[in-house]
Amino acid sequence: MNKLLKTTLAGLLLAAPALHAQIELSDNLSVTGFLDMSAVDVNSETGEDSSSFNLDQAEIDFLIDFDEITAQIDLNYLGNNSTEEFDLEQAFITYNLGDGANIEAGKFNSYHGWETVEPTGLYQYSYAYDLAPNSIPLFHNGVRFNYGDDFVNFGLSVVDSVYGPDGSIGDSEYGAEAKIVIFPADGLTVYLGFAKDKGADAIEDKDLINFWTSYEIGNMTYALEFNDYDMGANITGSQWLLMANMGITDNFGITARVSEDQQDWAGGDTATKFTISPGWSVNDNLGMLVELSQTDLGTEGTNTTIAFETIFTF
């Protein structure tokens, strides 16, 4: 998911100092990371009620810098990881070609998605889309070319698989992603991305079109996203979200979001989600937020979630 915007804890975008910093171990190596913990209560009319208190995620990122060649290695632990071990989330090298261009190779995160894969870049606790959360790709192996300046940013990647990385690129199975981003005015970003997974032999292709735009003005951030996806076997759907974040004080803000997830293959089943989330930074390294979300599944009923999240960054 999108990592174009380098937001801080919970995406508060307040005037407080950045919460995400680097610890320098040497001239060429630095470390950064976070701990994400939550308490969640779900009242469900479509399934069973549930409550949890969990260490959702712990991550350590190693950043290596040798001038025109840099590398990043992310080790990640998820609370639902039955092995209770750190896994390799991503590891890639970047060669700076100069004049705003670079080439990346290894395992890296997808270009696409307004909502970032990491909780440190989200404006709330949950993601927008409940029916098809995997429509936005995550990590894959490959190589990509990026270019950016003050007005435009574009990228093109060839990967083993957009949705299911297996470490191989063959004649019958591969993936590709492309993006173009423009910054037509101060605070305004417009993003258009495309992904295609070329299925092997009898496996059908998968396609995604991802559009989002954001506008930052004063203490406000607005965002609009639209996705259209085809996962093969007539599994198609669309998604959209509207979001607004307001920084009320230097260390307190509130986010409101409405989103919809429609599965065309399931008779047009639609989930409409409403989210409100106040959040605050305690200091430069600790932030907290509360989320209240309700997902309306039509005749199936509603799911209501209350969450409290704490993120410690270093």
Q: For 114-136, write each residue's pLDDT tens digit.
A: 999 999 999 999 999 987 878 89
Q: Which residues contact 5 (CB under 8 A, 6 or more apart)?
A: 116, 121, 189, 214
Tell me the CB-side half-sphere exposure of residue 168, using CA atoms within 13 A: 7
Given a contact cutoff of 8 angstroms between Cβ atoms, the answer to whether 286 and 310 are in contact is yes
pTM score: 0.89
Q: Residues 184-231: pLDDT tens digits?
A: 999 999 999 999 988 766 577 899 999 999 999 999 999 999 999 998
Number of helices (H) and strands (E), helices first, in the chain?
0, 17
Residue from 143, 127, 138 nearest 163 by CA: 138
Q: Is 198 helix (H, G, I), strand (E, B) or coil?
A: strand
Q: Residues 40-54: pLDDT tens digits?
A: 999 988 888 889 999
% of the chain exceeding 70 in pLDDT: 87
Mean pLDDT of the chain: 88
Q: Is 62 helix (H, G, I), strand (E, B) or coil?
A: strand
Burial class (CB in 10 A: 0-12, 13-18, 19+), 172: exposed
Domains of the chain: 9-313 (2.40.160.10)
